[in-house]
Copies of this chain bind each other. A is one copy, B any other.
Amino acid sequence: MRVGVGMVDKAGLIENQGALVDADAQVESFRQTRNNRRTELVEDYVELIADLIDHDGEARQVEIAQRLGVAQPTVAKMLKRLAADGLIQQRRYRGVFLTAEGKELARHCRERHHVVESFLCALGISAETARNDAEGIEHHVSAETLEAFRAFVGKNATDAGAGREPPR
């Protein structure tokens, strides 16, 4: 069907004063967003687990559950999935540990998160809002956009500190 810019619709009229975006391109955006949504949770878990290990020396289910604001069985289920995906190792009734792959993902997420949060702060947004919004935005930032954020933070050395450690 493809109703795009400058195309002719079934009534024979030149469409597009409305300037609807190209259909194929739009579908790609939506697909990408749906894909991101699937990986968001995984990234949140891995990032949080890395933080807890760095902070406490271990990551326990109860602590993860508390931090995420969900129930412990919800965490248990997700950890199984992470283990199946090779991101963590579980020892029954022991803490959770990141595999090499998990560590790499955590490093990546952590840095991206930090860039996004710093960027929002550099824009003049309050620390609290920056924290909240970064949590949602980070998973939807492409490499190109992340680079632009990083460059902006670099130029405006007004980074008030995003309240997280810098990437090592």
- CB interface residues, A 109-137, toward B, < 8 Å: 120, 123-126, 128-133, 135-137
Chain B hits for A29, CB < 8 A? 131-132, 135
Q: Whole-angstrom distance between the alpha carbons of A140 and B40 in the complex?
A: 13
Q: Is A51 an interface residue (CB 8 A)?
A: yes
**Is A163 interfacial (CB 8 A cutoff)?**
yes
Specify the chain B residue showing the minimal Cβ separation from A28. Answer: B132
Which of the residues B19, B25, B133 comes within 8 Å of A128, measured between beta carbons? B25
Is the pair A55, B16 in contact by a Cβ cutoff of 8 Å? yes
Instruction: Determine the distance from Cα of A9 to Cα of B56 in the docked complex, in whole angstroms.
Output: 9
Could you pull out 22 A-B pairs where Cβ atoms are within 8 angstroms? A1-B66, A3-B55, A3-B56, A3-B63, A20-B51, A25-B131, A26-B67, A27-B66, A27-B68, A30-B67, A30-B135, A32-B132, A32-B136, A120-B148, A123-B152, A125-B144, A126-B144, A129-B145, A136-B139, A137-B137, A137-B140, A137-B141
